[in-house]
């Protein structure tokens, strides 16, 4: 049942970001598009990142088989936030860097693989626009981490 739920819910964060960027995109590539800079487009998409990630986290938490399992999953998701934040020092991490860091941290189970893919999709959608701007990458990574933390705050003290 959880795999079926994840199958339907995990694409939602990515779809939310796509619709957000499509709404804010002036139709071009890098630089200024229709009076909106790439940085402005990313800034406009940021409010959608945390809730999208929160939704992906919630899907994993809803699949818990017991309250103890839910707390264990919440702790892992909370720790994923630290993994994501650790990528934000120095140069701009690639989407593959995020994939690798999260995959190396989480167990190899379908719901965790789908969760990691959802986080990667969110970052990958914005990564192409971030370019070589570490400050912008930091904002996106922090929004992803904040989504993980907000989803787990009632389980992790």
**Mean pLDDT of all residues belonging to the chain:** 82
> 57 pLDDT band (50/70/90 cuts)?
very high
> 139 pLDDT band (50/70/90 cuts)?
very high
Going 70 to 75 to 80 to 81, the CA torsion angle's sign is positive
Mean pLDDT of 35-42: 81
Q: Is the full-model pTM beyond 0.85?
A: no
Q: Quick count: other Cβ atoms within 10 Å of Cβ 80? A: 26
Q: What is the pLDDT of residue 105?
A: 94
Asked whether the beta carbons of 123 and 140 are under 8 A apart, the reply is yes
Cα dist. 21→4, 36, 48, 50 in Å?
A: 28, 12, 10, 15
Q: Quick count: other Cβ atoms within 10 Å of Cβ 82? A: 12
Q: Report the first-to-last Cα separation within the chain, whole angstroms.
A: 29
What are the boundaries of each domain within the chain? 38-152
Q: Report the run of H or E that residue 117 belongs to, with start and end.
A: helix 110-130
Q: Which residue has the tokens 């904002």?
A: 139
Q: What is the pLDDT of residue 61?
A: 96
Task: List the beta bridge partners of residue 37.
Answer: 32
Cα dist. 63→67, 71, 106, 142, 151 in Å?
A: 11, 12, 16, 25, 14
pLDDT at 21 over 70: no
């Amino acid at each position: 049942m959880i795999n079926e739920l994840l199958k339907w819910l995990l694409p939602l964060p990515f779809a939310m970001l796509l619709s957000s960027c499509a709404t804010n995109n002036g139709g071009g590539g890098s630089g200024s598009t229709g009076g909106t800079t790439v940085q402005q487009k990313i800034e406009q998409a940021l409010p959608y990142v945390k809730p999208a990630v929160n939704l992906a986290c919630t899907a994993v938490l809803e699949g818990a088989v017991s309250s103890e399992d839910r707390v264990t999953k919440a702790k892992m998701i909370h720790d994923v936030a630290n993994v994501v934040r650790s990528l934000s020092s120095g140069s701009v991490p690639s989407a593959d860097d995020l994939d690798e860091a999260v995959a190396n941290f989480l167990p190899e189970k379908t719901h965790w693989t789908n969760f990691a893919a959802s986080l990667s999709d969110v970052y990958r959608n914005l990564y192409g626009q971030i370019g070589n701007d570490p400050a912008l990458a930091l904002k996106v990574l922090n929004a992803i981490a904040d989504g993980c933390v907000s989803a787990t705050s009632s389980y992790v003290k």
